[in-house]
């Protein structure tokens, strides 16, 4: 992968001048390259990684569930059409087609446990081509998108060494 993309994947807020200096490029070149990536759909967006465990108590903590879904592929469209029906629901934050025991893996987020249950019972399970679901509620996040949620490992090095 392009180094510019690697840096942006690590830190979506990296400034243009810093990216330019780090990659030994002109700032204009960086701006243009980012625009190209955005226009041709390589860069799909910029988001913030939030450690929800760390939210204060007065803020409600959303509930996340990973849901395995078995579906029946269709003659013309395979899995794609059914997947679209499912991922169009706003509760579905991610949707992947997987190899293995199930076909789709969803990451579903809702305000509370009930809402997730509602989604499965009312939206997902009744779908014509969905014949099995299995939900796993997340209890704790240790790491997300390369970011460690525990404070970083301690630095054992001497502060000054020759």
Work out whether 161 is an interface residue with another protein (CB under 8 A).
Answer: yes
> Which segment (60-68, 71-79, 134-142, 150-158) binds another protein by CB under 8 A?
150-158
Residue 139 binds another protein, judged by CB under 8 A: no
Name which position in 24, 39, 88, 145 contacts another protein (CB under 8 A).
Answer: 24
Q: In angstroms, what is the minimal distance from the CB of 124 to another protein?
A: 40
Write down the residue that tokens 């029906």 correspond to: 85
Contact 79, 71 (CB under 8 A): yes
DSSP 61-103: PPEEEEEEEEEPPBTTTBTHHHHHHHHTSTTEEEEEE-SSS-S
Kindly state whether residue 1 participates in binding another protein, applying the rule CB under 8 A: no
Say how many residues touch another protein, by CB under 8 A: 17
Q: Which two tokens stand for residue 22?
A: 């780090």
Residues composing the chain: 162
118 binds another protein (CB under 8 A): no
Please report, as ranges, the residues that interact with another protein according to CB under 8 A: 3, 7, 10-11, 18, 21-24, 153, 155, 157-162
């Amino acid at each position: 992968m392009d180094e510019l993309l690697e840096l942006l994947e690590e830190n979506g807020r990296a400034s243009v001048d810093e990216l330019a200096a780090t990659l030994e490029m002109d700032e204009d070149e960086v701006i243009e390259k980012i625009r190209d990536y955005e226009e041709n759909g390589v860069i799909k967006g910029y988001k913030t990684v939030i450690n929800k465990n760390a939210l204060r108590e007065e803020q409600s903590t959303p509930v996340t569930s990973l849901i395995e879904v078995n579906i029946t592929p269709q003659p013309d469209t395979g899995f794609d059409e059914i997947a679209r029906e499912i991922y169009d629901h706003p509760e579905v934050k991610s949707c992947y087609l997987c190899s293995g025991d199930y076909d789709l893996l969803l990451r579903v987020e809702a305000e509370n446990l009930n809402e997730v249950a509602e989604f499965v019972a009312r939206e997902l399970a009744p779908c014509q081509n969905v014949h099995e679901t299995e939900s796993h509620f997340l209890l704790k996040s240790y790491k997300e998108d390369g970011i460690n949620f525990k404070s970083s490992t301690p630095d054992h090095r001497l502060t000054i060494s020759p």
